Structure 1
Amino acid sequence: MGRKAQKGTAPPKATRERRPARRLQGVDPRVLAGQLYELHARAERGGDQGYLERWPGDGETHGVLLFAQAHAGRLAGEAHQQATLLRITLAEWLRQQADPLQLRALDDARGVGVRWDQVALALQYIGADGEPNPSSAFNRHASLKVAVHGEPEDRRQPHVARIIEARVVREELERRERERTEDARYPAMDAAARALLAHFQAGEILSDPDDNFWWDELVEVVDDRRDATERANLVVYVRGAVHETHAYARRTGQEPTTTAPAAAALEVASALVDPGGAST
């Protein structure tokens, strides 16, 4: 008699402590609302007339959900199933939009001296003794930090909030340092960008006639650098144009430039965007 097949060991159930923060990806609520509308429009053509005149508009997500819930019974079969799934996704999208708004409200409240027991009252976190529960309000604030600022692998738990706070601070410091570095070399980057464009527009720098994305972008932004962030980002466009030209030159076996001054301008720009690196 053969051995009984052993049952595979089921993976451990995701507990509250293990469960990662979830975020919807690639959801456009207007598109989903439009799909809901079409389901109801088909139902209206086959039965009740006129009720879609009260449709709130695709951009009114909360109103769309209320309308779709109130008129769910007008749908049948597969259309009814599709509509319920669309409502689930829309409701989840709407809930996730509320998280950063509530977090900002809590931050603002604490910033102006509102106590945790007052926050608990606003959230109606009331204990069995009828008193507000400030620790629940504190935990809500902490979990919102994880939900809003955390990564998908982060656990949505209050004790992780300190890690998230430290990460946000670190990333902000790194961003400011990058901006300071790029802002300091902005004059050189600006000069390199303008030299590149002069030679490009003179037809002395090779480009793909079917794909000039980065060159077109560089033309648009070079005269529109108004603050430190925008000045720091100029390197992105210069790098893109330089890489685009070198990549096309490699694909076609051509030289990236047709004149010595253009070659010099391209070399200067390459050194700025890839300091210490090899030719792109």
Structure 2
Amino acid sequence: MPTKPLVREPIRIGVVDASAVIGELRQLHEEAEDPDVERMPGDDELFGALLYAEKHAHALKRHSPEAQQTAALKRVQLWEYLREQSEIHQARAIDDARAAGAQWVQLAPVLAVAVPSAAYNKAKRLKAVELLDETPRAARVRRTPEAVLKAERRLAQEEAAERRAQEAARRRHELLVPVATRLLEEREALVRDEDVDYWLEEMEVVLPHCRTPLQMVSLTRYLDAALRALTKLEKQTARSVALTEDARLALAAALELQDASVT
């Protein structure tokens, strides 16, 4: 039977400045004149520092009960943080093992489970730590294999859609320079006003140096503005702004590229 989904989203510690909290623990031990405090691991050695603080908790007896409580609560917080982080990193290690060809039967003993199916389920539950569901507030994915698979499928679809969008943008950028160049070449065969001339001149300035994504964006904006001005002029005169067939084709290509960028 599938595992029953969790009804409530689990509360998590989340981001913690672990080094700063270890520093606060160290200060409490120094103020209590812990004779061994110099042996306490560095602030960036979380696990070792926590083991030290646990072993030398008695050294805080010179402190007030409130200070002792504060130190103990900081240890609780850091152990919870460490546990959450270990789940994230263990899930990544499993991904690397699978990518290297490890089978679930090999992962079972190192995940402390008896059978491959249990290793698979445990791996999926660990994966939930890094995933968000599709709700507006982006809650954590429930720790069930079914919920994780659903989230992974959704992420794969989103990544595929993003790749398609990037490829479409790349193709538009490849067409942008020749389309803009062709429109400028037919400038004298277009009916123009001050707005049209202004935006065509802006295009002419940026076009020879159009290499970076930012320059491409600028050229796109200028081309869009020129097309808006030409369309407006066409509506005002109730006549085509293209005076020749070549100009008509150049304008049609630019409008087609504009429509593709909108969709």
- Answer whether contact 2:142 2:148 (CA < 8 A) is retained: no
Show CA shifts across 1:32-79 (max 9, x none): 1111112112111xxx43x11112111111111111111111124111
- 2:72 and 2:120 map into 1 onto residues whose CA distance is 35
Counterpart in the other structure of 1:3: none
- Unaligned residue ranges in structure 1 (runs of 5+): 1-14, 126-131, 189-224, 226-230, 239-263
Of 99, 102, 107, the match for 1:114: 102
Higher helix proportion (structure 1 or 2):
2
- 1:87 and 1:176 map into 2 onto residues whose CA distance is 44
Residue 150 of structure 1, CA deviation: 3.1
Show CA shifts across 1:253-276 (max 9, x none): xxxxxxxxxxx99x74997xxx99
Count of aligned residue pairs for this structure pair: 180
In structure 2, the CA distance between the partners of 1:42 and 1:164, relative to structure 1 (3 Å rule), is: same
Of 145, 149, 161, the match for 1:162: 149
Letter matched to residue 66 of structure 2: E
Rg comparison, structure with higher value? 2
Counterpart in the other structure of 1:176: 163
- 2:173 and 2:121 map into 1 onto residues whose CA distance is 44
Counterpart in the other structure of 1:24: 13
Residue 160 of structure 1, CA deviation: 0.8
- 1:124 and 1:102 map into 2 onto residues whose CA distance is 13
- 1:95 and 1:184 map into 2 onto residues whose CA distance is 46
Of 42, 49, 52, the match for 2:37: 52
TM-score (norm 2): 0.57
1:104 aligns with 2:89: no
Counterpart in the other structure of 1:148: 130
Residue 88 of structure 1, CA deviation: 1.4
In structure 2, the CA distance between the partners of 1:183 and 1:56, relative to structure 1 (3 Å rule), is: farther
Percent of aligned pairs sharing the same letter:
37
Counterpart in the other structure of 1:68: 53
- Answer whether contact 1:33 1:64 (CA < 8 A) is retained: yes
In structure 2, the CA distance between the partners of 1:43 and 1:180, relative to structure 1 (3 Å rule), is: farther
Counterpart in the other structure of 1:36: 25
- Unaligned residue ranges in structure 2 (runs of 5+): 134-138, 177-211, 226-257
Q: Which moved more, 1:178-187 or 1:51-60?
A: 178-187
